[in-house]
Structure 1
Amino acid sequence: MRLVIARCSVDYDGRLSAHLPLATRLLMVKADGSVLVHSDGGSYKPLNWMSPPCAMAEREPEEHERGEGAEIVWSVQHSKGEDRLRVLIHEVLHDSSHELGIDPGLVKDGVEAHLQRLLAEHITALGEGYTLIRREFMTAIGPVDILARDGRGSTVAIEIKRRGEIDGVEQLTRYVELMNRDPHLAPVTGVFAAQQIKPQARTLAEDRGIRCVVLDYDELRGIDGSEHRLF
């Protein structure tokens, strides 16, 4: 991973156009080719980015750009479209590269892992006729927590969280979109299951046709002696 702190401006052209005026920012170039532009705020979200597959080249600025103070230009082109990211660097304050090695991936906490196991064992809690295909169904962009079939025989991708937020809905959306390209799985719908689901996450999920389910951990464990059920 390459980390550059620089005074720069950024222009994005493609499905939309966006401009970031001159300011000091963190530029991140990952081993997968992705390029991200961060500010010292806004939590974890980049101000702009280019997802792989893409190619980056460092070029000399054009004459008018050099006249405005640019010293070098990063030109990032998406390999499967017309999306382009152009970063005009005026001053480099830091430039370093680091080898991070192979990442083991996200390890869910005990509650999420246990919820996944319990729900897989009692998949009919989601509805009559539901059957389990498998847990941790691997896709090209990561594992789906549970893959199942509903009572009509359609494929259902289930994402499980302890606390359901917008990020989890976005994650499930990517899984469903990717899996719907596979004729052996399509049509695929999504279920977003969590102990708590924030209102914003529920609104986004329902807008995208994703069903929301609130899980009761104690009920799934059968602590109260009742039937395993969901609310």
Structure 2
Amino acid sequence: MRLVVAECAAHYTGRLSAHLPKATRLVVVKADGSVLLHSDGGSYKPLNWMSPPCSMAVSEPDDEARERGVTSSWAVQHAKSDDRLEIEFFEVFHDSQHSLGVDPGLIKDGVEAHLQAMLAEQISLLGEGHNLIRREYMTAIGPVDILARDAAGHTVAVEIKRRGEIDGVEQLTRYLDLLNRDPLLAPVKGVFAAQEIKPQARVLATDRGIECLILDYEAMKGFDDVESRLF
């Protein structure tokens, strides 16, 4: 990765035209060929950029550009389109290159798979007397996250989301409609479980007779089954 802090201007042409007047910015050139221009604001989003595949040519300024104070120019051309980013550098304050190596990628904590595994282990969060039938119970339209049985022997279908929204309630409704056609499972009640449930989703779930359960991920991670400990 190359990092350049410089006073620069940029002009983009292609599907539209855009111009960045002269200012101090961070220019990032990544190993995949992408080029990004950042200001000291705007969060993570660059002011302008070129995505790979693209090529970059560095050239000396002509007489007119040199009179304007330009010291060098970059022309970044996309390989599969007419998109082109031209950057004029007036003064370079920092220019360094760094090898970052292979990135292992983002490892998310608290994703739906984690919530599903922990709820299966702590099935009593659904209520006393609940027992796990199985995780990922397959149906003709996809797997139900958790299938359980309550203290009265009734089947319970649980749909798990990090953020509970209306589409999750609709998904569980479809599962319940299908599961309730099976005489070995019916009647099947639904539980919509999430770390956060939007008000509209809660209203829809309640209207359809679906129970809502808020999952406290931090508390679930610290679950301690006293009866299973040796000491």
What is the alpha-carbon root mean square deviation over aligned residues?
3.5
* 2:35 corresponding residue in structure 1: 35
Measured in 2, the distance between the counterparts of 1:106 and 1:86 equals 32
Tell whether 2:136 aligns with 1:130.
no
SS in 2 for 1:80: coil
Alignment length (residue pairs): 147
SS in 2 for 1:36: strand
Cα deviation digits, residues 148-190 of structure 1 (max 9, x gap): xxxxxxxxxxxx76699xxxxxxxxxxxxxxxxxxxxxxxxxx
Which runs of 5 or more structure 1 residues have no equivalent in the other structure? 133-159, 165-193, 199-213, 222-231
* 2:108 corresponding residue in structure 1: 108
Contact 2:36/2:48 (CA < 8 Å) preserved in 1? yes
Contact 2:34/2:49 (CA < 8 Å) preserved in 1? yes
Q: Note the C-alpha offset of 1:22.
A: 0.3
The amino acid of 2:107's aligned partner reads V
Q: Greater Rg, structure 1 or structure 2?
A: 2
Which TM-score applies when normalising by structure 2?
0.54
Q: Note the C-alpha offset of 1:60.
A: 1.4
Q: Note the C-alpha offset of 1:96.
A: 0.2
Go from structure 1 to structure 2 and tell me whether the alpha carbon gap of 1:130 and 1:62 turns closer, same or farther (over 3 Å shift).
farther
Cα deviation digits, residues 82-116 of structure 1 (max 9, x gap): 00000000000000000100000010113444147
**Percent of aligned pairs sharing the same letter:** 61
Measured in 2, the distance between the counterparts of 1:112 and 1:36 equals 33
The amino acid of 2:103's aligned partner reads D
Go from structure 1 to structure 2 and tell me whether the alpha carbon gap of 1:111 and 1:55 turns closer, same or farther (over 3 Å shift).
same
4+ residue runs over 3 A deviation: 110-113, 115-118, 121-124, 160-164, 194-198, 214-218
Which TM-score applies when normalising by structure 1?
0.54
Measured in 2, the distance between the counterparts of 1:85 and 1:197 equals 44
Measured in 2, the distance between the counterparts of 1:97 and 1:107 equals 26
* 1:88 corresponding residue in structure 2: 88
Moved more, 80-89 or 59-68: 59-68
Contact 1:32/1:52 (CA < 8 Å) preserved in 2? yes
Which runs of 5 or more structure 2 residues have no equivalent in the other structure? 120-134, 144-160, 166-193, 199-211, 221-231
